[in-house]
Amino acid sequence: MELQKKPNGMVRKVPRGGSREAIVEAASRLFLQQGFGAVSMDELAEAAGVARRTLYNQFASKEEIFREMLLRMSADLEDAFPPGIETEGGVEDVLRMAARMILELHRKPEYLGFLRMVVADSRHFPWIASELAAVMDPQTERLARYLAHMNAMGVLECRNPLLAAHQFLGMLNEFSLWPWFMGQPPLAVPAEEVVEDTIQMFLRHYRRPQLDESRHDDAA
């Protein structure tokens, strides 16, 4: 246990196991409110309710705290594209599951707050945007590999699977993510309607036309 003085002079105990979590939560709040560059390590220690020594025992720098936050975002993205999702039914089923999970991720305040902080601070700290991209891009590339596989299987017909992956994600982002960035409410449309229409629009363009078997039999 770590001993820490309260403002009234009394001493309280801070659980060592919980200090790392408290620091990351405090950093999430302060980075969003003030920006990454404006927050000092001393402010982080105070907001987390830990001694300065405890803070440095857990994290050597703000950059290390940011990377811890990235790890948590990576876990959220993994939840949005869980292992094995590519085998869960046909292409419509897989895209439907992915779309629902993405829109659910967009409802998480901590996820949205982190994105806002990165956008605000990446001009002065370009490495922040680069490290975020290193977490986000593999998930987009994974979707692109799935689309390429569907292409090879003759289900889809898309010349550029990575472009198609960005298009699919972009339609979902337009509904909930970008209005939030602009301080506007999302479209007054049920999320499930957004999911279904996005999938139908996407597949209307990229699904490979199937040979009309009845005509083929008649011709034979």
Q: What tens digit of pLDDT does each residue of 26-67 get?
A: 988 898 888 888 999 999 999 999 999 999 999 999 999 988
- In 49-160, alpha helices (H): 52-58, 62-80, 91-105, 109-121, 126-152
In this prediction, residue 18 carries a pLDDT of 60
In this prediction, residue 80 carries a pLDDT of 67
Three-state DSSP state, 203: helix
Instruction: For residue 55, give both structure tokens.
Output: 């803070």
Amino acid letter, 78: E
Architecture of the structural domain at 2-60 = Orthogonal Bundle (1.10)
Domain covering 63-210, topology: Tetracycline Repressor; domain 2 (1.10.357)
- What residues does each domain of the chain span? 2-60, 63-210
pTM across the whole model: 0.74
In this prediction, residue 138 carries a pLDDT of 86
What is the full per-residue pLDDT of the chain (220 aa) written as tens digits? 333 333 333 333 333 446 888 999 898 889 888 888 899 999 999 999 999 999 999 999 999 998 888 888 777 777 767 777 777 789 999 999 999 988 988 888 878 878 888 888 888 888 988 988 888 888 899 899 999 999 999 999 999 999 999 999 999 998 888 888 777 877 888 999 999 999 999 999 999 987 544 444 444 4
Instruction: Count the residues in the chain.
Output: 220
